[in-house]
Amino acid sequence: MTQTLFEILTSILPVFVFLGFLLLFDSFKLVKWRNVIFTIIIGSFVALICYLINLALMQKLDLPFFYYTRYIAPPIEETAKAVYIIYLLQRKKIGFMVDGAIYGFAIGAGFAFIENIYFLHSLEQKQVIVWIIRGLGTAVMHGGTTALFSIIAKNFQDRFNQTSLLYILPGLLAAILLHSFFNHFFFRPLIMTLGQLVVLPLVVTIVYIRSEKHLRGWLEVGLDTDVTILEYITSGRLSETKIGTYLQSIMNQFPGEIMADMLCYLRIYLELSICAKGALLMQESGFKIPKDREMEDKIIELNFLERSIGQTGKRAIAPLVQKSARDMWQLYLLS
């Protein structure tokens, strides 16, 4: 039992260590530890589901094992791992590519943990060095492919501000091809594992640097813009701006109370946006952000006003409230 536990840990521990480094080096603390742990658990459940699916299909299709693992298993497993990432993207819970890399790697780590337990019992050769190479290679592969999918999918979401199937497919296809390439064993397992250990940190480091650069730029520009517009609203000088001109142009299309709700919606949205950006800057400086009941109440009020102004009102105010995936993510950050 002790030997089995040691073998499992030697194969998977470096992956969890790398995941821990990603979280520690994230100066803005975009992803919480509890969310990562939950994601690892999700990945473990996904592995169990894929095991049952693969077992049933192998019995039904009666294909050679090597053929199944190279061409059938990769699409099934990568699609299953991608489902939770797609959910996070659609719910605007991933703000930047580095978030996606962390969530993707966590899913893959949980998946690999369960798969390695299975492989440990099925391998004929159980020497420690053989197991480390085989188990670590599998773990890095599963974490890397899902992280790659998350990065590509988030990049497309930022560019086109939507998470439709069309923009999900490129990342999913890349993950499937990489998984299939790994299962072909074109190179010796030791070379494959070492290659992954070099390439994966390099790719994630590049993504991390780019993501932090974009985050800082978004904070600087967005914070200045939000503060300026809010000052115009609170000082009663909104009519002097292009926003005020736009609101006056649509005033005759809505009842007075709806227009009042739209203006109130804009004000609260800006206040929350400023608070979210301020919270990020405080987290970067090492301050812990306390729970703010007033912010929670404002989020509830914002949701109420959104229902009050209706779909027509939301479409009318859309040019004023830039609800990109990243802007919606900041509201999730507050909640």
249, 207: one domain: no
Pairwise CA distance, residues 145 & 253, whole Å: 50
Q: Kindly tell me if the per-residue pLDDT of 129 is higher than 60.
A: yes
Closest CA to 278 of 214, 211, 333, 326: 333
Geometric angle at alpha carbon 257, from 253 and 263, rounded to 5°: 85
pLDDT of residue 325: 60
Residue 219, in any domain of the structure: no
Output the average pLDDT for the chain: 79
pLDDT at 264 over 80: yes
Q: Of 35-39, 59-63, 185-189, 262-266, give the range with the top mean pLDDT.
A: 35-39
Mark whether 88 and 38 lie in a shared domain: yes
- Tell me whether residue 69 is in a domain: yes
Domain for residue 157, yes or no? yes
CA separation for the pair 96, 260 (Å, rounded): 34
One-letter amino acid of 3: Q
- Find out whether 150 and 104 touch, Cβ atoms under 8 Å: yes
Asked whether residue 109 is domain-assigned, the answer is yes
Rounded Cα distance between 309 and 294, Å, is: 22
Question: If we measure between CA atoms, which residue out of 56, 156, 50, 69 comes closest to residue 107?
Answer: 50
Q: Quick check: is 226 in a domain?
A: no
Residue at which a domain ends, from 161, 182, 214: 214
Same domain as 201, residue 265: no
Identify whether residues 48 and 153 lie together within a single domain: yes
The last residue of one of the domains, among 145, 180, 214, is: 214
What DSSP line would sit under 157-209, residue for residue? HHHHS---HHHHHHHHHHHHHHHHHHHHT-S-HHHHHHHHHHHHHHHHHHHHH
CA gap 18, 74 in Å, rounded: 23
pLDDT digits (tens, 9 = 90+) for 76-122: 999 999 999 999 998 888 877 888 888 998 999 899 888 888 877 76
Per the domain annotation, does 323 fall within a domain? yes
pLDDT score of 73: 94
- Domain contains 207: yes
**Both tokens assigned to 146:** 């899902």
What range defines the domain where residue 275 resides?
236-334
CA-CA distance, 183 to 71, in Å (whole number)? 9
Same domain flag for 33 and 171: yes
Residue 223 predicted with pLDDT over 70: no
Q: What is the pLDDT at residue 190? A: 72
pLDDT at position 323 over 60: no
Please, are residues 140 and 182 in contact by the beta-carbon 8 Å criterion? no
* Res 193: pLDDT: 74
Widest distance between CA atoms in the chain: 78
Under a CB-based contact definition with an 8 Å cutoff, are residues 144 and 207 in contact?
Answer: no
Distance CA 99, CA 22 (A): 10
Structure tokens at 50: 């894929």
Domain shared by 83 and 37, yes or no: yes
pLDDT at 28: 58
104, 203, 304 from 24: Cα distances, Å: 16, 17, 37
Do 279 and 140 lie in one domain? The reply is no
Examine residue 222 and state whether it is found in any structural domain, yes or no: no
Q: Report d(CA 120, CA 123) in Å as an integer.
A: 6
Number of domains, the chain: 2
Flag whether pLDDT at 27 surpasses 60.
no
Q: Is the same domain home to 38 and 146?
A: yes
Q: Is 308 exposed, middle or buried (0-12, 13-18, 19+ CB in 10 A)?
A: middle
| Cα–chain center distance at 118 | 28
Same domain, 105 and 180: yes
Whether residues 240 and 294 fall in one domain: yes
Which pTM value belongs to this model?
Answer: 0.72
pLDDT digits (tens, 9 = 90+) for 247-258: 777 777 778 888
The answer to whether 11 touches 139, Cβ cutoff 8 Å, is yes
Query: Are 38 and 150 in a shared domain?
Result: yes
**Mean pLDDT, to the nearest integer, of 7-35?**
72
The predicted model gives 274-288 an average pLDDT of 71
Q: Which of 78, 47, 71, 69 is nearest to 169 (CA)?
A: 78
Q: Are residues 142 and 83 in the same domain?
A: yes
Q: How many CB atoms lie within 10 A of CB 97?
A: 25
d(Cα 92, Cα 38) in Å, to the nearest integer? 17
Q: Rounded distance, CA 333 to CA 215, Å?
A: 14
Quote the DSSP letter at residue 241: S
